[in-house]
Chains A and B, each alone.
Chain A
Amino acid sequence: MTKGIAGIGEDYKYGFKTPEKYVFKSKKGLSKEVVEEISHLKGEPEWMRKFRLKSLEIFLKKPMPWWGGDLSGVNFDDIYYFIRPSDKQGRTWDEVPKEIRDTFDKLGIPEAERKFLAGVGAQYESEAVYHNLKEEWKKKGVIFLDTDTALKEYPDIFKEHFSTVVPPADNKFAALNSAVWSGGSFIYVPEGVHIEIPLQAYFRINAQNMGQFERSLIIAEPGSFVHYVEGCTAPIYSTNSLHTAVVEIIIKKGARLRYTTIQNWSKNVYNLVTKRAVAYEDATMEWVDGNLGSKVTMKYPAVFMHGRGAKADILSLTIAGKGQNQDVGGKVIHMAPHTSSNIISKSISQNGGRSSYRGLVKVLKGCHGVKSNVKCDAMILDDKSRSDTYPYMDIDEKKVSIGHEATVSRVTDEQLFYLMNRGLSESEAAAMVVSGFIEPIVKELPMEYAVEMNRLIQLQMEGAVG
């Protein structure tokens, strides 16, 4: 009975596009001139221009990764590295250009805003066009800006933290981002400030052959709390697009930060992202990472636990359908005693899709009392699909507690029979089992995303059963 279940993520509901209207579009391909031009157009300080050029050199020297997803379809010469959608940064909805507003309307953002969003930072193409931060947060000293503006308005905080978590030499794609980055979110939460409503940003690629290289930097001062949510959707194009982001997070003593991503890029996007947090004493970092879209995703959110008592939680949810390779996971580096980490990964592979969990647990010598637990659950819905687990462990300390558990499951005939007995169709029954499988992660999502996620799974189970 299970053999016909396929099609999660097959229909892409955000496959619309609006006519391109740009103030500036760089030449295709990457060169020193393009990088200089980006820096010049942005009116950046000299140190950033030099940083970009140095990063470009590193990028050119580094080989492509030999592991993970198949990146042979990435052609660096066939990509626009910078597009500025309009010359003006919108602050209220009416100031946002009409085409862009239409795009957001189709994504249902204003509706979402009415319901939940207190502050919206949305990125369209390379720069944020719409920012709306609650007055009360401003009063508390919270900064929520696109990264370019933050560089201009808060140069000191910016320079102090930028690139301290992910240096350009970290990997080839971090180097690429460092050379051509544009946009992204900058968040600064002052000491002791708790932001109860999630900060949200939507990211969107709308030009063919355009890379998106946003760069985000979040700083949580001691004792603060913030939840940042990004959702990504992109229209379908016949040629490949590249999304290479870098996210750097610094969580100081006793602060807690949650970063939630729902990635739903169209099926021709290469999504190669470096996400990393450093957590100091008693700080907590939580990555909630959902990957539904893209052609190839390589993303392993990491937490470096620098301070005693720091905690890392990584929840990873992956759906790999036809033509998709989701190579995702998490990295936890225990650099201080009594730090703890917990990784839960849930993947669904169907219709020839391939998902891999790739993770690292590293404990440095002398870090006694470390606790780490990794749980990988894979659900494979048909014989064409594949799931792999690559759990790397590098433990240099004896007084630690490390656990690893992996399961593979299917939607069983007995489950389908049971549920169909209660009047559910085969596809509804399968969708219910699948939604149950991912529930431990979906329940951690903000309500609107959880609802959307379950609806997506239901829709895409429909008509998929032969």
Chain B
Amino acid sequence: MNNKSLKIDDLQASISGKKILKGVSLNIKKGEVHAIMGPNGSGKSTLAYTLMGHPSYKIEDGSLLLNDENINMLSPDERAKRGLFLAFQYPVAIPGVTVMNFLRNIYNKKIALANGGKPVSIFQFNTLLKERMGFLKMEESFAKRYVNEGFSGGEKKRLEILQLEILNPDLAVLDEPDSGLDIDALKVVSEGVNRAIEKGVGVIMVTHYARILNYVKPNFVHVFIDGRVVKSGGPELAKELEDKGYDWLKGKVNSKH
């Protein structure tokens, strides 16, 4: 399919019976960058988890259409197979599994799916991995560490972006890829995201601060408050939020009630 897209239509979702998403509609096309900005607790991460099919988040109403297929009922791995990817804000540790083995495993899974291709050899994969790790300024020894175990915040974010680049999905949800990064790490991570975008990945960038948007240019900015998109605009909206904060928009939510 040429027109890769994710259509979110009036998405409503709850966790433990509590409604968090109260009707979200977005349309993300191949190569586009949509920034979702909002204060803490506005439901941004819930949106990310719901898109990816976390079992604790229940879709109450609305639909998710990935490349024109309804994926509401699909498990996370089925969504991943169809080209969806989530870079976690807080990735979990998988003790005892090396970064190298983990990445080769998921890469081969992807290859096998793509064209029934044969898995790459350890040697081939290591060549690829070395190159990609170089892009993200990661030490070679990193590949031998256990996934996310004892990683600094910055290392975790880099590993998420490394996976993004290796898996090359159609659509990636990046949940606060900038949190906890110093300026050098932010640049490295942003470059990785930009490389993915150049390859045609559509991006939903969930972020609290506008800072990363200086490096990854959004096509659209959506302000998210209380489980809804309350305002959408171009990159200039991010600038406005940086200057004025979110409070001026909270009134908009209340007026809708």
Contacts and interface: CB of A to CB of B under 8 A. Distances in A.
A438 B95 CA distance: 9
Contacts of A417: 52, 54-55, 76
A1 B75 CA distance: 11
Contact of A437 (B52, B96, B167): B96
B66 interface: no
A423 B75 contact: no
B77 A424 contact: yes
A417 B109 CA distance: 16
B46 to A, nearest CB: 14
B80 A420 contact: yes
A418 B88 contact: yes
Contact of B80 (A422, A432, A437): A422
A141 interface: no
A205 to B, nearest CB: 33
B106 interface: yes
A424 B92 contact: no
Contact of A414 (B81, B92, B167): B92
B86 interface: yes
Interface in B64-107: 75-77, 80-81, 85-86, 88, 91-92, 94-97, 102, 105-106
Contacts of B52: 417, 421
Given A1-B55, A415-B94, A418-B92, A423 B80 contact: yes
Interface in A412-466: 412-415, 417-426, 428-429, 432-433, 435-440
A177 to B, nearest CB: 36
Contacts of B94: 415, 418-419, 432-433, 436
Contact of A420 (B75, B88, B110, B146): B75
B12 interface: no
A440 B92 contact: no
Of A417, A423, A428, most B-chain CB atoms within 10 Å: A423
Interface centre among B76, B80, B85 (most CB of A within 10 A): B76
Contacts of A428: 109
Nearest to A419: B94
Contacts of A424: 77, 105-106, 109
Contacts of B88: 418, 421
Nearest to B109: A423
B113 interface: yes
Nearest to B95: A436
B207 interface: no
A413 B96 contact: no
Given A413-B55, A426-B77, A432-B105, A421 B86 contact: yes
Given A420-B77, A422-B106, A438 B55 contact: no
A429 B109 CA distance: 12
B77 A423 contact: yes
Contact of B163 (A412, A420, A422): A422
Contacts of B109: 422-424, 428
B95 A437 contact: yes
A18 B167 CA distance: 48
Nearest to B76: A420
Given A1-B55, A415-B92, A423 B97 contact: no
Nearest to B113: A423
B97 A421 contact: no
A330 to B, nearest CB: 21
Interface string B128-147: 00000000000000000011
Contacts of B163: 422
A439 to B, nearest CB: 3
Contacts of A426: 75, 77
Interface in B149-199: 163, 167
Contacts of A422: 80, 106, 109, 163, 167
A377 to B, nearest CB: 10
Contact of B91 (A418, A436, A437, A440): A418
B120 to A, nearest CB: 15
A439 B96 contact: yes
B77 A435 contact: no
Nearest to A412: B92
Nearest to B82: A423
Interface in B213-235: none
Contacts of A432: 94, 97, 102, 105
Interface of A: 1, 412-415, 417-426, 428-429, 432-433, 435-440
8 contacts: A417-B54, A417-B55, A421-B86, A421-B88, A422-B80, A423-B80, A423-B110, A424-B105
Given A422-B163, A423-B77, A440-B96, 9 more contacts: A415-B92, A415-B94, A417-B55, A418-B91, A420-B76, A422-B167, A423-B80, A426-B75, A432-B97
